[in-house]
Structure 1
Amino acid sequence: MYLYKLFVLCFLYSACWAKEEDVLEFSDSDFESRIAEHETALVMFYAPWCGHCKKLKPEYAKAAEDLIRNDPPIALVKVDCTEAGKDTCNKHGVSGYPTLKIFRNGEFSQEYGGPREAGGIVKFMKAQVGPSSKEVSSVADLEKFLRVEGEVSVVGFFEKESDLKTAFLKLADKLREKVRFAHSTYKAVLENQGISDGIVLFRPHHLHNKFEDDSVAYSGPAVTGDINDFITKNYHGLAGHRKSDNRNDFQNPLVVAYYAVDYVKNPKGTNYWRNRVLKVAKQYQDKVTFAISAKDDFQYELNEYGIDYVKDDKPLVLARDAKNQKFIMKDAFSIEVLDQFVKDLLDGKLEPFLKSEPVPESNDGPVKVAVAKNFDNVVVNNGKDTLIEFYAPWCGHCKKLAPVFDDVGEKMKDEDVEIVKMDATANDVAPIFDVRGFPTLYWMPKDSKDSPVRYEGGRELDDFIQYIAKQATSELKGYDRKGNPKAEKTEL
């Protein structure tokens, strides 16, 4: 038993090590010669201390293990920009980490703009080699193509040259990084499908179910845009498998069932719950988007709903409506409960979930504190022009701005202007604000609060005063329109 355990540990260790070994490391001394050995290569220029690089590293290694076995193989390379690869990084204009670039036969080809998790990297890079649409010459080849990747496939069947074939191949070139395409002109393949000039979207075998067809035929005109719309509409079916690399495909209103989705280790159990979602989804397919997601992969989304973990094996259902408001299905999952939840969502009968800090007991400071629950009162309906800062407690730039912002509040305390701050990490931010970094500031005129304007000015006290003085709906009492203090009136 001891030897058996030792063998298993050694095997697992070597497997993990092999993943690291599949990523090639080049330096200034050998980059030019070694990169030229590879027909297609993805190069990660990195710094060892970079947090984003550390996060990408295991995903990159997983992708390398797969791609090195591709036909033809695709090399994944890394270059340390702080040590042995400094000159190479400078030569290729690397200014941030990680930077990823695609090389072909030793020459730079293009910037990498794909996903940064293993599955997405693999899919993106496989699309970089070979034709955008694979030609299949037999029924066996077609069956192999449809099964080998376990993904949606779009296949064109053409007896002869046609406008539809031209539009199909043009779209394949455009979407090669997102969709698997194939085509055939062979008589046996066309007869097997019963098609002489047509396009069919095939769903992967593991997603086949009794609620929708396994394939969908295109019936529109020979127009690239129309074919694209057909693919977009049918790609994920009634309830798609939503993953980190395709999450943006699923549009609101959206209902997602989170549970232990795993089509590798437990396909039967995964489909047990998906089939129940599908039964409800079929009734609302033109009104709501449905999806399933692995709860562990989307823990950050659960956190946005105030959920630390999913307590049992049943799916947890969360939703967003057309306005991007959030909703939680509070009762235990069942077909009946899900059906009622979706009806209430569409009828506007559900109470939105707001991630919010408690409303402050006192809010009399020069800078008012907004939280999600009091946002309308403090910001939207305050009857004043408003300058609001969205910040993060850990943000260094926010900490530096804090005393300046307090000074702005003091200067504006007798004006028809409100200075407000809100912790955007602990409170839901309204969709009209585009908050991607911290601090983010917006100006909201009192008569048009639905059209906030991003503040792009300086961060010193005078910068804020001059901006507010110029933008204020009514001229300030203490400052002219240029931000100059007004002379105090004295009594005679």
Structure 2
Amino acid sequence: MATRSFVKLCWASLLLAPLVASSDPVPTDVPRPNLRPEGHEPEPEVEPWSAYEHVNAEEFNKALKERDYNLVACRFDSEMLEWQWPFIKEQLPNHYLSVNCTAEVDLCLEHDVRTYPSVRLYRRGTMYARYRGPRNGGEIVKFTQRSLRHVVGSLDETTVGTFPESDDVTFILHLRPEDANRGVYRRFHDLATEFSDRYSFAIVGRDQDNSIDEEGEDAPTVMRCYNNVDKRQAEFDAFFENIDGMRNFVKNCGERLVKTMTMPNAQGFIEGKRAVLYYFDADQESRAKFAKDILDVAKQFQDQLDIVVSNPLQFGDIVTEVGLPNRDFPSMALQNPATMQMMLYTNEDRSPEVIARFINDGLTGQHSMVPIQEMNLDGQGPFGDLGEGGEEQQEGQEGGQEGGQGEEQAAPRDEL
């Protein structure tokens, strides 16, 4: 046995000796064999599509210094806004920036970015205005354009006729010279500053607005509102009767009858005391069409309820709270806090006439409704499993309250 083992060891030594003794390096220039069939070359790696062209801190500061204004999108992870970005870039060439806050953490902290995506307008190197409207490219461009105007424009007999249609909502103060020192213009200017991101404001003297020919030299000071979206106008002249009268007039006339759900206003509809008709549709054009078609119905019930359109992909948690299945859209529900009930719209006919009857039945209690307290806000509605609510984790509180930091936390809700 010992002799046989010795023979095996000798044979192994003879086989390994040439390899151990060789000092030549292993060749590295030998081409690897191509095992793929002829004509099937490997596909080059392609980076995922992105509408953004993110800048770093140095590029960001350089743009703020060299440009007179910049529209900046600070993002964490928001595909909704990304699909709108190409249109914004086309409308505002050389005046847009985007920052990836996961890569530029210090830059976003320096500029106090707390919610994502955050859209801001910078002028002359400093933050000038925040956008808080819906994630719609057209609305964001309008916000930028009106923010670049004078807070209060000055009109004459020519421009007073064209200004009313220059924006979705415009306000004109027709001022008598003798009222100029009574604080009316100052209050008007303060309101213009507050609402300049949403509406456009201008002033014209009574001696330049063609009113003398119509009303004589004693035409009073008035403020006129032109809501071109809702096709309605209004006038206010009680400047010295109610200190809050001017502000309430601007708010009520400027607010759209068919509202768009945003992060700042979403919970207000759920928790408010007014009845609400919710319309959920993932398609932006369909939501716009519904808002246009339902306008007359909104005017009919404007004193009784709010009509709000919403993107269910963004507000999945609201869909669940309302009690709708989080999968079938478009869909509608009527919330009536007065009776603590929710009525789900099941009719395939969404004509304004049918919806008007649905609203009337819900407000008068002529239709079977689901008690709101029976809604399970964890995703179990009265119709079984409603699926995922889509609720996003929020860092800090709604409205910009600062929360804790940490890599394990999800991005906070958008302010859009």
TM range (shorter): 0.5 to 0.7
The change in CA–CA distance for 1:427 and 1:77 in structure 2 (over 3 A counts) is: same
Aligned residues: 319
| SS across alignment from 1:217 | strand
Which of the numbers 147, 161, 165 marks the counterpart of 2:165?
Answer: 147
Distance in 2 between the 1:202 and 1:339 partners? 26
Match of 1:51 in 2: 77
Give the match for residue 368 of structure 2: 351
In structure 2, the residue matched to 1:184 is 204
- 1:158 offset after TM fit, Å? 1.0
Cα deviation, 1:187-235, whole Å, max 9, x if unaligned, reads: 342428855410111121x643xxxxx3111132345521121233333
Q: 2:342 aligns with which of 326, 333, 338?
A: 326
TM-score under structure 1 normalisation?
0.51
Determine the structure 1 residue equivalent to 2:98: 78
Q: Is the alpha carbon distance of 1:337 and 1:26 closer, same or farther for their aligned partners in structure 2, counting shifts above 3 Å?
A: closer
Q: Does the 8 A contact of 2:176 with 2:220 survive in 1? A: yes
**Structure 2 unaligned residues grouped into runs of 5+:** 1-48, 383-390, 395-416
1:126 CA displacement: 3.6
1:185, distance to aligned residue in structure 2 (A): 1.8
For 2:170, the aligned partner's letter is S
* Cα distance change, pair 61–167 in 1 and its aligned pair in 2 (3 A): same
Trace 1:353-392 onto structure 2 (pairs within 5 A): 353=370, 373=374
Report the 3-state secondary structure (helix = DSSP H, G, I; strand = E; otherwise coil) of the residue aligned with 1:34: helix
Question: What is aligned with 2:414?
Answer: none
Q: Is 2:378 the partner of 1:424?
A: yes
* Counterpart contact for 2:261–2:310, Cα < 8 Å: no
Provide the rounded CA distance (Å) in 1 between the counterparts of 2:343 and 2:57.
53
**Higher relative CO (CA 8 A, sep ≥ 6), structure 1 or 2?**
2
Q: Distance in 2 between matches of 1:347 and 1:95?
A: 43
What amino acid sits opposite 1:154 in the alignment? F
Distance 1:255 1:145 in 2: 33
Distance 1:94 1:339 in 2: 43
The partner residue of 2:236 within 211, 218, 236 is 218
Determine the C-alpha separation between the residues in 1 that align with 2:108 and 2:350.
52
**CA distance change for structure 1 residues 89 and 231 in 2, over 3 Å: closer, same or farther?**
closer
- In 2, the alpha carbon distance for the partners of 1:273 and 1:95 equals 36
Q: How many angstroms does 1:270 deviate by?
A: 7.1
Q: Tell me the equivalent position of 1:42.
A: 71
Q: Which of 56, 61, 73 does residue 32 from structure 1 map onto?
A: 61
TM-score by length of 2: 0.59
Change (3 A) 1:37 1:290: same
The 1-side partners of 2:363 and 2:101 are apart by 53
Where 2:56 maps in the other structure, the secondary structure is coil
Q: How much does 1:58 deviate?
A: 2.7
Deviations 1:5-24 (A, max 9, x none): xxxxxxxxxxxx9x95xx76
Q: Contact (CA 8 Å) 2:225, 2:234: kept in 1 or not?
A: yes
1:19-72 CA-partner distances (Å, limit 9, x unpaired): 95xx764334433333211222233344xxx423x443233443343344xxxx
> Which protein has the larger Cα radius of gyration, Structure 1 or Structure 2?
2
Q: Deviations over 1:275-301 (max 9, x none)?
A: 4x25xx53x543x12537488899856
Gaps of 5+ in 1: 1-16, 209-213, 356-371, 376-421, 429-435, 440-492
The equivalent residue for 2:133 is 115
Q: Is the 8 A contact 1:40 1:104 kept in 2?
A: yes
- 1:203 corresponds in structure 2 to 227
Determine whether 1:234 maps to 2:241. no
Q: Paired residue for 2:192?
A: 172
Deviations, residues 138-176 of structure 1 (Å, cap 9, x unaligned): 34x234332233x12222111321433332222111221
3-state SS in 1 of match to 2:245: helix
1:291 and 2:346 aligned: no
Code of the residue aligned with 2:192 in structure 1: it is A
1:255 to 277, 281, 297: 277
Change over 3 Å in CA distance of 1:334–1:299 after alignment to 2: same
Match of 1:469 in 2: none
1:234 to 1:423, Cα distance in 2 relative to 1, 3 A: closer
- Which of residues 156, 160, 176 in structure 2 aligns to 1:159? 176
Once the two structures are overlaid, the 10-residue window that deviates more, 300-309 or 227-236, is 300-309
8 Å contact 2:323–2:381 — kept in the other structure?
A: no
Q: Taking structure 1 as reference, are residues 310 and 103 closer, same or farther at Cα in structure 2, changes over 3 Å only?
A: closer
Distance 1:299 1:148 in 2: 32
